[in-house]
Structure 1
C-alpha cells in the first residue's frame, strides 16, 4: 500500500510540476558574433599628423620644414613659404599653447583627439582650440605632402586606386582643382578615405580637418590666400595647377597605406 501511494504521488507531481518548469524556462538567445570594422575616425586617432604617430597638443612645436624655403619654386616662391611656415603656422602653434596652458588634462592629449571631441573642450577655449589645433595639424600634414623632387604622375597603390575611383589621374586632378577653386573663402581641398574605405574629394572651411567629419586625410592643398597670394595674386586656379609639380607621391602612398 505504501508503495502504491508513493508511486501515485510521484506520478501526480511529475504530471503537474514538470510542465510548469518547462514552460518557465526561457533560455536567453545567443546572438551570433558580428565582425566589427574600425571606423575611419577610430583609425585616424593615432596617425593623422604622420603616418605612424599623432601630434602632441602641448607643448605644440613648430616642425622644421624638410626642405629649404626656396626649394619648391616650381609652385611656391621662397617668401611665401617663409611667411607661411614661420609666421602663419607658428601663430597656430603659439595660440594653441596659450589656449591649453591652464588645462593640464587637455595638455596630455593629442591634437587629433581634441579635434575629434571638441565637446570635451571647455566652451571658453573651444573655438580657439578648433582653429589653432586644426591649423597646426593641417600644416604639419601639408609640409610633408610636398617635395623638391615631387610632381609627375602618381605611382604605386595610390595610382591604381585613383584610376579605379576617378577614371584617370587627369580626371582626378581636374575634379580636385575644381573643388579647390570652388571652396568659398579660406579653407582646404582634400583627398580623403571615407568611412567606407573609399577615396573621396572633400573641402573644409578655415582650418577644419577632415577627421572632424569622419574622413582620413591622405593629401590636401591649402587654398587660404596666404598660401599663394604673393605670387599668384587672385589667380587661385594657377596656384592649384602648379601645385602638382611639387606633390610628394611617395609620402601620399605612405599615408594611404597606413590605413590598409
Structure 2
C-alpha cells in the first residue's frame, strides 16, 4: 500500500500560466490527497491494507475501488503533464502511434471530443488495447487497467480539474492540455514498458 500520494513531478507553479498554481494546489492537496486519506480510513486494519492500488482496483468495488482508482488516476494525470509540454509528438515510436490514429490533428480532435462527450465526471485516455493505440473515456473513477488496456496518457475531466482556470469550458481545458501540457516523454515511457511486458 502506498504511504501517500506521489509527490508532484514539478513545482506547483511550474505549469503556469497554462494551469494556475491555485488550481494545482486545490486539486492536489484537497482532492488527490483527500482520496488517499479516505482510502486509508476504509482499509485500515483490513487485509486490503497490504494491497497495491492496482490490486485494490482489480479486486474491490464501491468506496474502496473509487478511492483507490482516484489516487492512481491522479498520480497518472500529474505525470501526464509537464511544463512547456504539448503540441504534436516528436518523431519516433510515439509519433508513429499518433500517426496510426490519423495524425496529430485527428488525434487532437478525437481526444478533445472524447473528453467533451464524457457526461458528468471522468477521464479521457490514450491507451494501448491489444497492442493498438486507442482513445477512450471512462466515467467517474473507472480505469482502463480493469479492462486489460494499458494507459499511456490521461486528462482528468472532473470539473475541479479546470473550473478555476476555465470555469465550465471543458473544451478549452482539453485544448490547452494537448497543446501546452502533455508530456510525450511520459507516453513514450509507458509505451516502452508495455512493449517490454509483452
Match of 1:204 in 2: 138
Report the CA distance between 1:193 and its aligned residue.
0.8
Within the candidate set 77, 81, 84, 2:27 is matched to 84
SS in 2 for 1:189: strand
Within the candidate set 169, 172, 184, 2:104 is matched to 169
Report the CA distance between 1:181 and its aligned residue.
0.2
Larger Rg: 1
Aligned length: 193
Within the candidate set 59, 71, 75, 2:14 is matched to 71
Report the CA distance between 1:102 and its aligned residue.
2.5
Q: Distance in 2 between matches of 1:114 and 1:79?
A: 31
SS in 2 for 1:259: helix
Q: Deviation per CA, 1:171-198: give whole Å up to 9, x if none.
A: 011000000000000100001111x211
Report the CA distance between 1:149 and its aligned residue.
3.0
Q: Which ranges of structure 2 fall in alignment gaps of 5 or more residues?
A: none
Spell out the pairing of 1:1-260 with structure 2 (5 A cutoff): 57-59=1-3, 61-103=4-46, 105-118=47-60, 126-155=61-90, 156-164=92-100, 166-194=101-129, 196-244=130-178, 245-260=180-195
C-alpha contact 1:58 1:107 (8 A) present in aligned 2:
no
Match of 1:38 in 2: none
Q: Distance in 2 between matches of 1:58 and 1:247?
A: 25
The CA RMSD over aligned residues, in Å, is 1.2
C-alpha contact 1:188 1:206 (8 A) present in aligned 2:
yes
Report the CA distance between 1:216 and its aligned residue.
1.1
| TM-score, normalising length: structure 1 | 0.72
C-alpha contact 1:99 1:129 (8 A) present in aligned 2:
yes
Q: Distance in 1 between matches of 2:142 and 2:53?
A: 12
